Amino acid sequence: MALFALRRLVLAIPLLIGITFISFLVIQLAPGGPFDYLRSEETGQDPKLVQKLNEEFGLDKPFHVQYWRWLSRIVRLDFGRSFQPDARPVLAKIGERLPITLFLNILQLLIIFTLAIPIGVASATRQYSLFDKITTIFVFIGFATPDFWLALLLMILFGVNLDWLPISGLRSLNYEYMTFWRQQWDFVSHLFLPVAVAAFGGLAGLSRYMRQSMLEVIRQDYVQTARAKGLAEPVVIGKHALRNALLPVVTILGLSLPGLIGGSIIIESIFAIPGMGQLMVQSVFARDYPVIMGNLVIVASLTLLANLFADLAYGVVDPRIRFSSRRRRR
Amino acid sequence: MRALRVAALMALATLVALAAFEGRDARLREVAAQDTAGTNEKPAHGDTFVHASIGDITGLIPNITSDSASHTVGNLIYDGLVQLDKDLNWAPSIAESWQFSKDCLTLTFKLRKNVKWHDGRPFTADDVIFTYKAMINPKTPTAYRDDFEPVKEVQALDPYTVRVTYAQPFAKALGSWGQPMLPRHLLEKAVEEGKLREAPQNLKPVGTGPYRFHEWKSGEKVVLVANKDYYIEGRPYIGRIVYRIIPSQATIFLELKAKGVDMAELTAIQYERQTDYPAFKKDYNKYHYAANRYTYLGFNLKDPRFADKRVRQAFAHAINKSELIEGVVMGLGREATGPYRPGTWAYTDKVKRYEFSPTKARALLAAAGWTDRNGDGILRNKEGQPFSFTIRTNQGNEERKKVAEIIQQRLKEIGVQTDIQTIEWAALLKEYIKQKRFDAIVLGWGTGVDPDQYAVWHSSQNGPDQLNSFSYANPEVDALLEKGRATCHQQERVATYHRIQQILAEDQPYVFLYFRETLPVVSSRVRGIKVEPAGIDYNFIDWFVPKSLQRYASP
């Protein structure tokens, strides 16, 4: 297994280079440059200045030279500085945004999984019952509700009309003057709506997967056998059926790991949360190449790592899967 | 079993609700009790002012940023030698007076003696000279260098007297010294090395302004606190300012309703309809004033169809400006007759106007050779080609899109076919405007404080990186533009810019559409606000909250 992991890690390197190459190409294709902000409406653009800055940062060089320079810096873990007027190091910019996005997304993922699996199992074991019908309706509502719309409705209800929860941001203005426990509550109350909205859509999808997968499994012979042996129903479902039904869900978990650091631009914008999604969008609009690329490198690396972990996790939940350095997984 | 589960769920729901109530009470307690016994209107220090900003700032040295959020914040941290007063005239700031020589070639500033940097050092003529050097240093990435290039020399006659010499009279001379003054003792090295952007000052600025920098949490907020050593005794009143960065206009609006922010700019529909209820009117005062920005329909004058003045005038007659203002900004705008904002000294209303008249429009087009030749309602030229063109505008600006749609409808009525294309800003600029590959464009111009619009209208300014992308050329306007920027005497300039407006109104290189209104709302607990031609925030340091109405703690 260790050998398998190592092999995959080595193979990931050319893949990563390929990803960054294409990304680098694509962002350069977009019209406009990082120093267009120097175009002032009263004075007109100062072409000399933009040209000079482009030279300073090597943006006047042909594409492959620029890419090579960037790559040789990045292998030394030099992510460079932002092209924005604040010129802050890329890693500092990402570093201050990453924790909150990670925290929100992990929280959201935990909620989705802890709720969706029991809901899916329950509606599969009681197929066509009232509970199943209600969850089906709930699921389709969840699929059909746009994030931003639900967010605004909840903000109006809980933030404006009832005044139970804060509307946006992460902390109240007088956060610094609060006691420790009040600070914690303040933070949690700010997270309540964004996490609820983000979880709602995902919950719907995942519980549906779980239900489907469970339905397939409980029709299998070995489940019949387990029942025929006289095992209690909770054991049949919990031990024999659930473990097999979880396999596709693990795949989904693996696929959702890279999303953890991506951040949701819609949720972050509406709730004014300074996370990775907002940083990425602002950087794209500003053509802030170092930040865009730094972001992409981190997201791409984590995606590859997450895929690897998902594959390894298969081995844990499915004894049929063996890792071998010779034969690739089926 | 099922009943048990329902009970458990209900218990959980109650818990959540209780927890939420606890939060609500706690938050209410922060809100000081409103004074019921009559408000005490004496100016008082303290309280926090929460300003909603849709964009984050990009840096804290305004001389090298060009977005409005950074400038709004920067203006409170830094001072220029001069500043705009309520009527948009230049007034003393940290220079207490100035004197032009008769020939406009030298400008002498007397500096105030009691101005201190936020770190306690005195502000002197050295800092003025340093700021000038920083602005003209080729390594400084500033968009405002053009304002300082005409300067021949800056000398300190004594620590509090600065003499600026110009090679030629320069109309914007005085206004250019509204540029924020930078501290020499903190920035000299960074400027010499060309590393101004990376200087600590850009993240933790030291200025001379009414507010000191406290913190900047990227994407979240910028906090400023009152500068107790400000050169005007007793100012500012408001103790702390928080700029909350909220990227969604809808969220800003909800925060206003929940009293989470004290000031925000509204859209026309929010201003006119969605805030028109008693509770909102009690909590907020609404203001409106003409923005320094107009929307226009501009034509590519290299295109033979639009090169004919009669065609442009016909379009001016075909467009109903008041309908446009009503439809696009719910009436919250003023008709534009030229590129100057009504109420400013350069503006004149004595120009040719084009009333809404499809008949006149058709007559003018017929004179230019465009008539309905086969009775299908579409105007064609002698060769039988229909008059059809594309109106382009930038993506993401609903207002301009609506403008284009209403124009499309009106032009259709006189037999001119148009398509509308919205294109992302950078692409529109690069692929269409700079390469002059367009028929007509709906966009806006900001009108600067100085009426010099040489860059927009002079025939020499039509290169790919320049602003006269529409290729307007009129020798008389060229001469007037040159004359207008070559004197420092406002009285002489008035006539020049009035004449330019008359010619532009006759020529209609653009159909000037409207100046929209800026629509700020401010918490009603704040006093001292007066709408003037400059807007409302020209006297921010005089704003105050009576002691009894103060809502937040402040240092």
DSSP line for B308-365: SHHHHHHHHHHS-HHHHHHHHHTT-EEE-SSSS-TTSTT----S------HHHHHHHH
Which of B465, B550, B552 to mutate against chain A (most A CBs within 10 Å)?
B465
Cβ–Cβ < 8 Å for B349, B334: no
Contact assignment for A32 to B245 by CB distance below 8 Å: no
**pLDDT score for A42:** 44
- The number of angstroms, rounded, from the C-alpha of A83 to the middle of its chain's C-alpha atoms is 26
Residues in chain A with CB shorter than 8 Å from the CB of B48 are 173
Helices B2-30, A180-218: axis angle to 10 degrees equals 150
Tell me the C-alpha distance between B362 and B371, whole Å.
8
- Whether the CB of A160 is below 8 Å from some CB of chain B: the reply is yes
- Whether the CB of A272 is below 8 Å from some CB of chain B: the reply is yes
What is the biggest distance separating any 2 CA atoms in chain B, rounded to whole angstroms? 97
Contact assignment for B553 to A38 by CB distance below 8 Å: no
Contact assignment for A97 to B219 by CB distance below 8 Å: yes
* CA nearest neighbour of B320 among B285, B360, B371: B360
Domain ranges, ordered by start, for chain A:
2-75, 94-329
Facing A164 at nearest CB: one of B21, B242, B257: B21
Which of A86, A90, A276 to mutate against chain B (most B CBs within 10 Å)?
A86
**pLDDT score for B479:** 93
**pLDDT score for B34:** 37
Tokens of A226: 């387990």
**pLDDT score for B504:** 94
Facing A163 at nearest CB: one of B24, B146, B466: B24
- Whether the CB of A47 is below 8 Å from some CB of chain B: the reply is yes
Residues in chain B with CB shorter than 8 Å from the CB of A40 are 66, 143-144
Q: Which residues contact B92 (CB under 8 A, 6 or more apart)?
A: B82, B83, B98
Tell me the C-alpha distance between B146 and B389, whole Å.
37
Q: What is the pLDDT of residues B118-155, one digit of tens each?
A: 999 999 999 999 999 999 998 888 888 888 989 999 99
CB pairs under 8 A between A and B: 173
Cβ–Cβ < 8 Å for B340, B497: yes
Tell me the C-alpha distance between B455 and B452, whole Å.
8
Contact assignment for B146 to A43 by CB distance below 8 Å: yes
Direct distance between the N- and C-terminal alpha carbons of chain A, in angstroms, rounded to an integer: 16
Facing B430 at nearest CB: one of A31, A42, A155: A31
Which of B149, B203, B251, B470 to mutate against chain A (most A CBs within 10 Å)?
B251
Residues in chain B with CB shorter than 8 Å from the CB of A30 are 426-427
Distance from CA of B17 to the nearest CA of A (A): 8
Tell me whether the omega of the peptide bond preceding residue B475 falls within 30 degrees of 0, making it cis. no
Distance from CA of B437 to the nearest CA of A (A): 15
Contact assignment for A87 to B197 by CB distance below 8 Å: yes
Cβ–Cβ < 8 Å for B433, B469: yes
**pLDDT score for A46:** 60
Q: From the CB of residue B177, how many other CB atoms can be counted at a distance below 10 Å?
A: 26
Facing B552 at nearest CB: one of A38, A86, A174: A174
CA closest to A159 among chain B residues: B258
Facing B20 at nearest CB: one of A164, A169, A170: A164
Tell me the C-alpha distance between B481 and B451, whole Å.
10
Tokens of B329: 């900004």
- Whether the CB of A233 is below 8 Å from some CB of chain B: the reply is no
- Whether the CB of A149 is below 8 Å from some CB of chain B: the reply is no
- Whether the CB of A161 is below 8 Å from some CB of chain B: the reply is no
Q: What is the pLDDT of residues B10-57, one digit of tens each?
A: 444 444 444 444 443 333 333 333 333 344 578 999 899 999 998 899
CA closest to B198 among chain A residues: A87
- Whether the CB of A27 is below 8 Å from some CB of chain B: the reply is no
Is it the case that residue B447 has pLDDT exceeding 70? yes
Contact assignment for B465 to A272 by CB distance below 8 Å: no
- Whether the CB of A146 is below 8 Å from some CB of chain B: the reply is no
Alpha-carbon distances, residue B303 vs B268, B384, B436 (angstroms): 35, 18, 10
- Whether the CB of A168 is below 8 Å from some CB of chain B: the reply is yes
**pLDDT score for A8:** 82
CA closest to B21 among chain A residues: A164
- Whether the CB of A49 is below 8 Å from some CB of chain B: the reply is yes
Which of B145, B248, B394 to mutate against chain A (most A CBs within 10 Å)?
B248
Tell me the C-alpha distance between B23 and A188, whole Å.
10
CA closest to A54 among chain B residues: B141
Contact assignment for B23 to A164 by CB distance below 8 Å: yes
Distance from CA of A17 to the nearest CA of B (A): 28
- Whether the CB of A125 is below 8 Å from some CB of chain B: the reply is no
CA closest to B293 among chain A residues: A41
Contact assignment for B198 to A81 by CB distance below 8 Å: yes
Distance from CA of B21 to the nearest CA of A (A): 6
Which residues of chain A register pLDDT less than 70? Answer: 39-47, 262-263, 319, 321-330
Phi, psi of A269 (to 5 degrees): -70, -45
Contact assignment for B145 to A49 by CB distance below 8 Å: yes
- Whether the CB of A189 is below 8 Å from some CB of chain B: the reply is yes
Regarding pTM above 0.95, the answer is no
CA angle, B157 then B158 then B160, to 5°: 110
- Whether the CB of A31 is below 8 Å from some CB of chain B: the reply is yes
**pLDDT score for A322:** 66
Residue that wins the pLDDT comparison between B386 and B464: B386
- Whether the CB of A42 is below 8 Å from some CB of chain B: the reply is yes
Contact assignment for B23 to A168 by CB distance below 8 Å: no
Q: What band does B106 get if pLDDT is binned at 50, 70 and 90?
A: very high
**pLDDT score for B555:** 64
* CA nearest neighbour of A58 among A89, A35, A85, A29: A35
Superfamily of domain A94-329: MetI-like (1.10.3720.10)
Distance from CA of B314 to the nearest CA of A (A): 29
Distance from CA of B66 to the nearest CA of A (A): 6
Which of B27, B280, B552 to mutate against chain A (most A CBs within 10 Å)?
B27
Which amino acid, residue B135? Answer: M
Question: What proportion of chain B, given as a percentage, has pLDDT over 90?
Answer: 64
Contact assignment for A41 to B217 by CB distance below 8 Å: no
Distance from CA of B43 to the nearest CA of A (A): 23
Contact assignment for B143 to A158 by CB distance below 8 Å: no
Which of A134, A173, A271 to mutate against chain B (most B CBs within 10 Å)?
A173
Residues in chain A with CB shorter than 8 Å from the CB of B424 are 31
